[in-house]
Chain A
Amino acid sequence: MTTQYESVIAEFDPIIGIETHIELGTNSKMFCSCSAQFGGDPNTHVCPVCLGMPGSMPVVNRAAVESTIRMGLALNCSIVPWCRFARKNYFYPDMPKNYQISQYDEPLCINGYLDVTVATANGPQVFRVDIERVHMEEDTGKLLHAGGAGRIHGATHSLVDYNRAGIPLIEVVTKPILGTGDLAPDVAKAYVAQLRDLMRALGVSDVRMEEGSLRCDVNVSLSRPGEEWGTRTETKNVNSLRSVERAVRTEMLRQADRLRAGDRITQETRHFNEGTGDTTSGRSKEGAEDYRYFPEPDLVPIAPSKEWIEELRATLPEIPSVRRARLQRDWGVSEFDMQSLVNAGALELIVASIDAGVQPAAARKWWTGELTRVANERSCELEELTVTPNDIVQIENLIAAGELTDKMARSVFEGLLQGEGTVADIVHQRGLIVVNDDASLIAAITAALADSPDVAEKIHSGKIAAAGAIVGAVMKATHGQADAARVRTLLLEHLGIKE
């Protein structure tokens, strides 16, 4: 039986394209010296420039230009010798000037690529995603709808917080991504994940997705093999990796339904509903908003010298794909295992844990095992869990000191995931203390042997594996607070058996 998705793939080829906006981690805003920190009391990170006061003028933040050039270089782009900012004109109350300073037909970085690895049933597969452009722009303010239900519909009034207005953004635009077939949703997700990792590796942004610092617009079209490209839709503001994948899949299914019914696809923007995973129609592109772009006359062109570009190129860190290969070698893991931990979003967390002092095997074990399982259950990203690499360090130290057993460590993780406090708090509150008093362990062993007299015989007859039953019984009797290895040693000693 084929699934609905498989039947879509059998009939149509998807073409996807992704525009990603990422807030840069500069200290100050794109065009003024206000703090670019997230949060702050409303309208405290503002000045005449980012409020769009009459007469005020923008000045380009050099650090933002450097970040953009470094990002462009890491994406294998050409850095243009000369480019300008442009004004994108439209009215919206969160836009202080009613135009956004952006780049239009003269982006700073053009024609690059990112090789994206996707796990498939037949092993990892690499897709080259061509990058059309990387450019700079400023973010808008934020609207807060007040009164009524707090939603835009039914609100009695809206408040504007301009702290975000003028925060530097870079926009990375792919060329149409062809030939992904059934992997289109996976390629989309993997691309955004790798882009995020690249930004972090470059240190140009810490990409806090939960704060909305990375936002994707996902373009999807379908066409039957051999036919012209289909009409595309653009699903706006898709803000998590999982949503990127879902948005592509949902849109493929929806468009296929319409095409099969003989309908036309309307070129439009669509909204992604995080709750249902559906997309709904936004405004139609056919009555397209006309942004009346023209070169920003308040700024001078940017003309990065060759020397400056080479200086910046020299600051690029190891590129993520090379680094990944190195880590795989260092850790001695298979390609398959490496890919699955990357897909689970565990790579950086494992690296951070190792950097903090955890053994590679232990770091991998926790992040790809227990924690990945919980993240999947909760449909969230690993990094959104309330467990940090530092917690892993503390737990591993306690295990090494013999103060926690593996089983008790799991209980600590459970406590962390439920927000019960720090590792120390949880150990204390849950009474997690290893029973390392040999006398009481031997008493428990004796009792367990008495309950299962046949086991001692089996062990004596050479079936040492049978010891497991007794160890298990002792662990149960001590509520998991014994060290299983110690119990096994004591048991064998008790029976006078040498391994």
Chain B
Amino acid sequence: MSLDSDLTRQSAATLATAIARKEVSSEEVTRAHLDRIAQVDSRIHAFLHVDAEASLSQARLVDAKLAQGVLLSPLAGVPIALKDLVATKGVPTTCGSRILEGWRPPYNATIVEKLMAAGVVSLGKTNMDEFAMGSSTEHSGYGPTHNPWDLDRIPGGSGGGSAAAIASFEAPLAIGTDTGGSIRQPAAVTGTVGVKPTYGGVSRYGIVALASSLDQAGPCARDVMDTALLHSVIAGHDPRDSTSINAPVPDFVAAALNADVRGMKIGVIRELQGDGFQSGVLERFNQSLDILTELGAEIVEVSCPHFHYALGAYYLILPSEASSNLARFDGMRFGIRVDDGNDRSVEQVMSATREKGFGAEVKRRIMLGTYALSSGYYDAYYGQAQRIRTLINRDFAAAFATVDVLVSPTSPTTAFKIGEKLEDPLSMYLNDIATIPVNLAGNCAMSLPIGLAPEDGLPVGLQIIAPAMADTLLYRVGSALESALVDRWGGLLISEAPSL
């Protein structure tokens, strides 16, 4: 690589190679990204917490190891941004909520330990919708994040901070979490790549839970290979998470190198196109299908009839689990406590703390979930939603009996304006219509950029869906499509983004 160019414009793979060859130090790379953050983040607001000194000293440690000839991993020395619901020992972790203001976890999430062991350097914590509830990062208790393509627009959500950090070249890599699309939809609307691994593929230990049966952490980057490299570092069984898959980790990098779709059958989901999908999104999507055909894949249409019920089921299961997961935020052990000192009862303190600490969307979902789990309603709501989940699983199983992977637009629209959907939760929820079925079924998916919508010049994402534990297929198909597109564009789509 030509290191005379801006270090922040390089891929993680390129940086790692240069660091390993000692052409550049991790400290220099880290410093370049910290400088970039200092330069642009006042406009983007991707980060909630940056500790430059801590990052630099981590980087120097990696450099010292390299000097001793220890290569920690293929990503050693590369900086990363962490979504602020990943527990980091001694480092503020707010989940985008005021209720956790001031909390510094006494322990590290498993993925943080894996990243540290791999010599990946943490730059800081990224903004998100409060407790990952939202599709725009507007529901952060600390103010919205701005889309680098258009600062008046949302960067998607809930992981808008992670996606925006990558898209604005503040970080080459980021960790996101995806409960209903929170990695993929931000990737789509910021022109970056995001992967939701198979449920259980990456440990959830230390990732503050939104909906435990849906949550999954995953990699965010600017190209497919970087997501594969990051996925390899964070994947694997964790004895501290009994829902994590106890099987060898597949070789995602080899799959990304095997960019070949010849003879593959790719299914287009009939239910995820047409009404509600922006015309420019569908136009780019159809062009991608043509490219995949040119690359030797066979495109067939499949039907997943129960996807119509996915959103409804999701908005029962998620709030139900969230209402229970968020019960621990009561002002007793961590975060803020609202107590006016007038001999308040425990219940009054809990209530006042939750009233002040939680935002409107969180309260809305806690109430929905509390109601759905209530005695007498459980069967009609939670029970019924779980049955839908089974039906969606069967839809996927039937589809994967005839095709290798499925594709759809990741999000029905490009990035909308900040404030545009804030008063209309239902239209906000519809943003995740294409991503939610994957979380309900527990399989895996990737979003990658496929161009700009002609009508607004904003990025469009394509979603590839593979069966559970077949994450390698995402990398194979994703890198094939990406390299064909990059050939046409003469570079990554993100290089078209306005300079900040």
Contact = CB atoms under 8 A, between A and B. Distances in A.
Interface string A69-101: 000000000000000000101010100111100
A297 interface: yes
Nearest to B321: A297
A407 B382 CA distance: 72
Nearest to B238: A57
B243 A54 contact: no
A298 B212 CA distance: 6
B333 A52 contact: yes
A99 to B, nearest CB: 5
A57 B241 contact: yes
A55 B83 CA distance: 13
B347 interface: yes
Nearest to B331: A93
A51 interface: yes
Contacts of A97: 327-328
Nearest to A289: B375
Q: Per DSSP, are chain B's interface residues mostly helix, strand or loop, or mixed? A: loop
> By CB atoms of chain A within 10 A, which of B93, B332, B346 has the most?
B332
Contacts of A51: 333
Contact of B208 (A55, A292, A298): A55
B149 interface: no
A190 B382 CA distance: 42
B109 interface: yes
Contact of B334 (A53, A58, A93, A300): A53
A231 to B, nearest CB: 19
Instruction: Sort chain B's interface into a size bin.
Output: 35 or more
A97 B109 CA distance: 18
Nearest to B97: A54
Interface string B93-126: 1010000100101110100000000000000000
Given A54-B100, A54-B328, A91-B347, A294 B205 contact: no
Interface in B292-314: none
Given A55-B87, A55-B206, A56-B205, A294 B328 contact: no
B368 to A, nearest CB: 12
A53 B375 contact: no
Contacts of B11: none
B347 to A, nearest CB: 7
A53 B240 contact: no
Given A98-B330, A290-B375, A299-B242, A48 B107 contact: yes
Contact of A55 (B205, B374, B382): B205
Interface in B313-346: 320-321, 323-324, 327-330, 332-334, 346
A416 to B, nearest CB: 45
B17 interface: no
B346 A93 contact: yes
Contacts of B332: 93, 160
Contact of B204 (A52, A57, A293, A300): A57
B207 interface: yes
A294 B209 contact: no
B375 A292 contact: yes
Interface in B340-395: 346-347, 350, 370, 373-375, 378, 382
Interface string B135-170: 000000000000000000000000000000000000
A59 interface: yes
B324 A294 contact: yes
A356 B148 CA distance: 80
B85 interface: yes
Interface string A57-70: 11110000000000
Contacts of A158: 346
Contacts of B240: 57, 59
> By CB atoms of chain A within 10 A, which of B109, B328, B347 has the most?
B328
Contacts of B85: 55
A54 B205 contact: no
Interface in B222-250: 239-243
B158 to A, nearest CB: 16
A220 B237 CA distance: 49
Contacts of B321: 294, 297
Contacts of A300: 242-243
B213 interface: yes
A60 B241 CA distance: 10
A164 to B, nearest CB: 16
B289 to A, nearest CB: 36
B327 A53 contact: no
Given A54-B208, A55-B208, A57-B204, A298 B334 contact: no
A110 B242 CA distance: 25
A294 B208 contact: no
Contacts of B95: 54
Contacts of A53: 87, 105-107, 333-334
A160 B330 CA distance: 14
Interface in B161-215: 204-209, 211-213
Nearest to A87: B324
B101 to A, nearest CB: 13
Nearest to B239: A59
A91 B327 contact: yes
Given A89-B324, A294-B378, A298-B209, A60 B333 contact: no
A118 to B, nearest CB: 38
Given A48-B106, A54-B208, A59-B242, A294 B100 contact: no
Contacts of A292: 323-324, 370, 373-375, 378
B439 to A, nearest CB: 12
A56 B107 CA distance: 9
B104 to A, nearest CB: 11
A298 B86 CA distance: 17
Contacts of B242: 57-60, 298-300
A87 B327 CA distance: 12
A489 B189 CA distance: 109
> By CB atoms of chain A within 10 A, which of B85, B205, B239 has the most?
B205
Interface string A336-372: 0000000000000000000000000000000000000
B327 A99 contact: yes
Interface string A228-262: 00000000000000000000000000000000000
Given A56-B206, A89-B373, A292-B374, A297 B105 contact: no
A59 B204 CA distance: 12
Contacts of A48: 105-107
11 contacts: A52-B328, A54-B103, A54-B334, A55-B85, A55-B109, A55-B206, A57-B204, A98-B327, A99-B324, A294-B382, A297-B212
Given A48-B106, A57-B242, 4 more contacts: A55-B109, A93-B346, A297-B211, A297-B243
Pick the 3 closest A-B CB pairs, nearest first.
A98-B327, A292-B373, A297-B212
